[in-house]
């Protein structure tokens, strides 16, 4: 059985969550570190929300695309307060000067 750690990116389905798995692998010949992302559908009985870090375990096929179940929540998403940005107020409009062209 596989155990994978990932981040919940969607909980729009009723009982299933989409988990994003990020893996870093080293290229066998060139040695460059490559980032591989893939999405897995997992049964969400625990109630994980979008942004949570979770551990998923491979199980028997539950549906056509669902072969994993969320085992535990490793970290909760931190709620950040929105920052208010005040825009500067302009105190009047500048006069636009245009040149008048005369016909010759």
29 and 36 Cβ atoms separated by less than 8 Å: no
Q: Is residue 90 part of a domain?
A: no
Range of the domain at 29: 3-75
- pLDDT tens-digit profile of 45-63? 999 999 999 999 999 999 9
Q: Is residue 82 part of a domain?
A: no
Total structural domains within the chain: 1
44 and 33 Cβ atoms separated by less than 8 Å: no
Task: Check pLDDT > 80 for residue 65.
Answer: yes
Q: Is residue 88 part of a domain?
A: no
Q: Is residue 54 part of a domain?
A: yes
60 and 43 Cβ atoms separated by less than 8 Å: no
Average pLDDT over the chain reads 87
Both tokens of 41, joined, read 């559908």
Tokens 């994978």 locate to 4
CA–CA separation, 33 and 25 (whole Å): 6
The CATH number covering residue 39 comes to 2.40.50.140
Average pLDDT rounded to a whole number, residues 14-20: 96
Q: Is residue 8 part of a domain?
A: yes
41 and 93 Cβ atoms separated by less than 8 Å: no
């Amino acid at each position: 059985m596989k155990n994978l750690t990932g981040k919940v990116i969607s909980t729009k389905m009723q009982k299933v969550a989409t988990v994003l798995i990020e893996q870093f692998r080293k290229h066998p010949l060139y040695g460059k570190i490559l980032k591989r992302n893939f999405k897995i559908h997992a049964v969400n009985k625990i109630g994980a929300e979008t942004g949570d870090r979770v551990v998923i375990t491979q199980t028997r096929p539950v549906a056509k695309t669902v072969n994993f179940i969320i085992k535990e929540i490793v970290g909760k998403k931190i709620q950040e307060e929105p920052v208010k940005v005040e825009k500067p107020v302009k105190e009047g409009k500048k006069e636009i000067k245009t040149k008048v062209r005369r016909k010759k």
